[in-house]
Amino acid sequence: MKPMGRLGAGIGWRPEIADAVERLHGLDWVEVVAENVCPGHLPEALLRLRERGTKIVPHGVSLGLGGADRPDPAKLAALGERAVALGAPLVTEHIAFVRTTSPVLEAGHLLPVPRTRDALDVLCENVRIAQDALPVPLALENIAALFSWPGEEMTEGQFLTELVERTGVRLLVDVANLHTNRVNRGEDPAAVLDAIPLEALAYVHVAGGIERDGVWHDTHAHPVPPVVLDLLAELRSRVDPPGVLLERDDDFPAEAELASELAAIRAAVTSGAGTEEDSPARARESVTGQDGGPASTAGTTGAAGAASTAGTADDGARTRVALGQAALLSALVAGTPVPEGFDRARIRVQARALAAKRADVVAKLAPELPVILGGRGPYREAFLTYAKTRPMTAGYRRDALDFAEHLLVRDLPADLAARRRLTSWWRERSGARPPHPLVRWARALTGRAA
């Protein structure tokens, strides 16, 4: 595996902090959510960063490479287009699933894959398909999780190591996610860092969160806690990361606080330096006699030689993974029974978190809805009631329209003026008229509008 180019210290670029990001001293690079930018209409602030030489990396959230289906060619093409438009040295995604196709359900969130042979076979084949389609190298991130799958066959370290060995993919290690999984799943971050091939490291994520009732929520809306900075220093004691990036997605602080967090991250990297000669990664290099460790050499596109060591996932493996993921996602978003072996309390926590995230994202995409419905409280109550029986099937924008129709079918909101405003809002965006009363009645009988 070729050495990863230096990235340095970076921050997640978001429109809300675009001006502050431009002024941050010593910023080397930024990461953008790939789905939030359009290649032909890049924000002026991003264009200015690119023109002054700041590296920009697109970070995808919707491929679902850990899902049972093969990657969507259109989504892969879109991710590749963003990489080219931004002049990106690589693209990144997640080891997660986000949807099922039978039934058609969207999580709107990154969910963990089971650490089983079937799931690994499916993931490896999906990764190789993605690598072949993308114009730049791919790196994958370990995710935070609220729950564990029953019947897992590998540890996190074993799963990630074999993924790298079989595909040559790089790793994006999120140390905040390692801490999340320590609290929520009892996993030892040091054991993960000791086990994985850190010579495959692309860069590192650092983010904040909060603990409630014994559950760590990876919010990206709180300051980075000392325990996460300690993990960053521990990682640095094993390997010199090519890049480290601060993620912040909500409740954005003042510019001075962002600068302070970046300074704390740089300090943690410095404090952890000096011992990587004795690290597991260095030990592997001395055994193999090369910088690439156990992973195969991968070029700037495709899986290259790694494909020869990675078998394909047979139909049986994909079917078994699909059945397990569909049963779980249905329990999370459609209220069906929790599959055997899962921690039911944790699944309830996850289900509530998914519904709350849906409500928050829809309110951001359609800020008129809380206003029409009388404020954040009434909006949230109405949306969570809707979400209990109406799982998302086609993304958040469609979800906003479906929510509005759900209310109109029930002659809601009760205030006539508000209902007229909602009707006008829905009509302008859907290009259709609200259902006739007879259609509303028929839908209600059949559960279409439930």
- Residue 172 has phi, psi (to 5 degrees) of -105, 105
Instruction: State in Å, rounded, how far the first CA of the chain is from the last one.
Output: 52
pLDDT tens digits for 27-50? 999 999 999 999 989 999 999 999
Provide the pLDDT for residue 314.
Answer: 84
Residue in 202, 186, 222 with CA at minimum distance from that of residue 136: 202
Residues for the chain: how many in total? 450
Q: Which two tokens stand for residue 62?
A: 């919707």
Question: If you average pLDDT over residues 355-381, what whole number do you get?
Answer: 96
What distance in Å separates the CA atoms of residue 41 and residue 167, rounded to the nearest whole number? 34
More confident residue, 309 or 366: 366
Task: State what percent of residues in the chain have pLDDT above 90.
Answer: 80
Question: If you average pLDDT over residues 309-315, what whole number do you get?
Answer: 66
User: Is the pLDDT reported for residue 284 higher than 50?
Assistant: no
What distance in Å separates the CA atoms of residue 54 and residue 37, rounded to the nearest whole number? 17
Q: How many of the other CB atoms lie within 10 Å of CB of 350?
A: 23
Provide the pLDDT for residue 430.
Answer: 85
pLDDT tens digits for 81-121? 999 999 999 999 999 999 999 999 999 999 999 999 999 99
Where do the DSSP E strands lie in 377-426? Answer: none
pLDDT range class, residue 350, cuts 50, 70, 90: very high
Provide the pLDDT for residue 2.
Answer: 79
Provide the pLDDT for residue 179.
Answer: 97
Provide the pLDDT for residue 272.
Answer: 81
Cβ neighbours of residue 430 under 8 Å, at least 6 residues apart?
A: 401, 405
Provide the pLDDT for residue 432.
Answer: 59
User: Is the pLDDT reported for residue 304 higher than 70?
Assistant: no
User: Is the pLDDT reported for residue 287 higher than 90?
Assistant: no
User: Is the pLDDT reported for residue 440 higher than 80?
Assistant: no
pLDDT range class, residue 450, cuts 50, 70, 90: very low
pLDDT tens digits for 166-178? 999 999 999 999 9
pLDDT range class, residue 223, cuts 50, 70, 90: very high
Provide the pLDDT for residue 286.
Answer: 36
Residue in 131, 165, 416, 102 with CA at minimum distance from that of residue 311: 165
Q: Which two tokens stand for residue 398?
A: 């469609």
Q: Does residue 413 have a cis peptide bond before it, meaning omega lies within 30 degrees of 0?
A: yes
Provide the pLDDT for residue 433.
Answer: 55
Question: If you average pLDDT over residues 61-67, what whole number do you get?
Answer: 97
Residues 74, 82 contacting (CB under 8 angstroms) = no
pLDDT range class, residue 62, cuts 50, 70, 90: very high
Provide the pLDDT for residue 436.
Answer: 53
Q: pTM to 2 decimals?
A: 0.86
What distance in Å separates the CA atoms of residue 299 and residue 306, rounded to the nearest whole number? 10
Provide the pLDDT for residue 291.
Answer: 35
pLDDT range class, residue 130, cuts 50, 70, 90: very high
Task: State what percent of residues in the chain have pLDDT above 70.
Answer: 87
